[in-house]
Structure 1
Amino acid sequence: MSAPAISRPASVAAMRRILRPARLPKRPVPANSPSCRSLYSTAPATRPITPNSVSLCSQPTRAHFPRSHLQPTTRSYHSHDHPPPPGPFTPDESALLSAAYKRVPEHGFTQEALALGARDAGLLEISPAVFPGDGVFALIRWHLYTQRTALSHKVDEVAAGTPGGPAGVAERVERLTWERLRGNEAIVGRWQEALAIMAQPSHIPSSLGELAQLADDILYLAGDVSVDPSWYTKRASLSAIYAAAELFQTTDTSPGFRETRAFLRRRLDEAAQAGAAVRSVGQWVGFSAGAVVNVLRSKGVRI
């Protein structure tokens, strides 16, 4: 028994009519619609327009977008005219880390200190697990951040004059760097453990960023206003000096870390002398090069 024949359209036009998608009926739009009414119409809208009700028929305005998309939340420079950016920790994280930090002298930068800090803050002991990464490194960053920001409260004390006159920039840099080293006093016995954690490949970028920020803050608070290439060399040199002094501090047993401060002063003096030597050499090279060019020009060489 043969299969029934399948009817086919008689023409291409009939085929197109079959394949053409069905059109939905158009929805009538009220004449007084607030989104599509004429720009010159003065008729009142039938419903209020909220900042989130963006119409496809109207141009978006500034009020349609959240303010967080219009202004950056952080800045990478110092300014007297604007407040500092918010810290890297939320209020809940600050409460936990502040409590855990008090346990560091006894338990070190460990998960145990974090768990005890959570219990002291009235939180669950699993709370440290909410940190997006290593909770122990977050505890280290808490120490770095709080000690660095505390320097701004010591500027007046550091800038106080001496019998020889007001403190210069170099002297204020030395005093501020020493104040920051003194901030390690409570946890210095555990700081070698922290340095080992900071040296892990996954933590090196953040650790170096904190060190660079510290050098920048110290020079800024000391009144350094250089805008030439020395801006970079000063911060690189101070970062290296502070890192060396901090490592020296972990093995210093002298009263009040007296040897650490002497070490710091020697390194800063050496950096100042080296910088002066480099500037002298650069000036000499520039003068010599200019003299050579003038001699060649006097001989007819086109330079």
Structure 2
Amino acid sequence: MTVPYETTKSLLLDAALTHVAFDGWSPATFKAAIRDADIAPAVARAVCPRGAVDLAIAFHHRGDDAMVARLKTENMADLKFRDKIAAAVRFRLEAVTDKEAVRRGTTLFALPMHAADGAKLIWGTADRIWDALGDTSDDVNWYTKRATLGGVYSATVLYWLGDDSPDHMSTWEFLDRRIEDVMQIEKLKARVRQSPTLSRLMTGPNWLMSHIKAPTRMPNMELPGSWTAPRE
């Protein structure tokens, strides 16, 4: 039987989520997911070579996909850009179907051996938000926008995990404060550019940063993929 690669991973993820609250993103969870999804261990390992770690990453990407899908359907034409950013972060958190799975994932990606994966996921979420909102920067701003938003997003997630206020209202207020902090930094940068003295001091750094370009994007070819299960 031929089963698409992503379908197999999705089945494993759905099965794993019933165990994550108890066992975390662990080998025990991955073993239980294989059993519950009725997928051959060899196939499961081919799809997720790192076991539950790959499923935790897939869970994060699933949330990103849901956020982008919602951004495409929401009418935000009348919102200020800072409010669009806040809405995107809120949509990302509201896309979470299992808060405990996020909590366990935060613990997993705080481990030294998985910290790089966690940083990549946060950067990826910020990148998808900026892309969805139509960012066209191709210089150093491409990096600073994503780094700044990644900091806002990660701080908001940590606050949200401990928030028990109705409808997470405290989290959205926290998010607004973090974005306001970023806006103050942007205002400071604008004043520096407008100051004859400070702008001259920044001539060298600005020249250097002008040579930094965004990475070249590979087109999404939508290539199909599948996995043929080995015979028992």
TM bracket, shorter-chain basis: 0.7 to 0.9
1:200 aligns with 2:111: yes
2:95 aligned residue: 183
1:287 positional shift: 7.3
Asked if 2 retains the 8 angstrom alpha-carbon contact of 1:252 and 1:260, the reply is yes
The aligned counterpart of 1:37 is none
The number of equivalent residue pairs is 197
Q: How far apart are the structure 2 equivalents of 1:177 and 1:248?
A: 13
Instruction: Considering Cα pairs closer than 8 Å and 6+ residues apart, tell me whether 1 or 2 has the greater RCO.
Output: 2
| 1:149 lines up with 2:149 in the alignment | no
The answer on whether the counterparts of 1:216 and 1:235 sit within 8 Å (CA) in structure 2 is: yes
Aligned to 2:55: 139
**Separation (CA, whole Å) in 1 of partners of 2:10 and 2:197:** 53
Report how far residue 229 of structure 1 moved. Answer: 2.8
Distance change >3 Å, CA 170–CA 227, structure 1 → 2: farther
Does residue 1:270 correspond to 2:186, yes or no? no
Cα distance change of structure 1 residues 103 and 228 upon mapping to structure 2, 3 Å threshold: same
Which residue is equivalent to 2:208? Answer: none
C-alpha deviations, 1:116-147, integer Å up to 9, x for none? 32233222467655566431211210111111
Residue aligning to 1:229: 140
**Matched residue of 2:88: which SS?**
helix
Q: Of the two, which has the highest radius of gyration?
A: 1
Give the alignment's TM-score, normalised by structure 1. Answer: 0.57
User: Which residue does the alignment assign to 1:220?
Assistant: 131
Distance, in Å, in 2 between the alignment partners of 1:157 and 1:132 is: 32
What per-residue deviation string (whole Å, max 9, x for no partner) do you get for residues 74-128 of structure 1?
xxxxxxxxxxxxxxx6443332223223443455433333333223322246765
2:207 match: none
Counterpart of 2:156, as a letter, is A
Q: Which residue, 77, 86, 100 being the options, matches 2:16?
A: 100
Aligned residue number for residue 26 of structure 2: 110
1:12-31 correspondence to structure 2 within 5 Å: none
Cα distance, 1:275 vs structure 2: 1.1
- Percentage identity across paired residues of the two chains: 24
> Are 2:155 and 1:244 aligned?
yes
CA distance in 1 between partners of 2:94 and 2:25 (Å): 19
Q: Counterparts of 2:127 and 2:81 in 1: how far apart (Å)? A: 14
Gaps of 5+ in 1: 1-88, 291-303
CA distance, structure 2, for counterparts of residue 105 and residue 187 of structure 1: 9
Cα distance in 2, alignment partners of residues 271 and 260 from structure 1: 17
Gaps of at least 5 residues in structure 2 are 202-232
Deviation at 1:211, TM superposition (A): 1.2
Q: RMSD across aligned C-alpha pairs, in angstroms?
A: 2.6
Aligned to 1:261: 172
Q: Give the Cα–Cα distance (whole angstroms) in 2 for the partners of residues 141 and 198 of structure 1.
A: 10
Structure number with the higher helix fraction is 2
> Any conservation in 2 of the 1:158–1:176 contact (CA below 8 Å)?
no
TM-score after normalising by structure 2: 0.73
2:193 match: secondary structure: helix
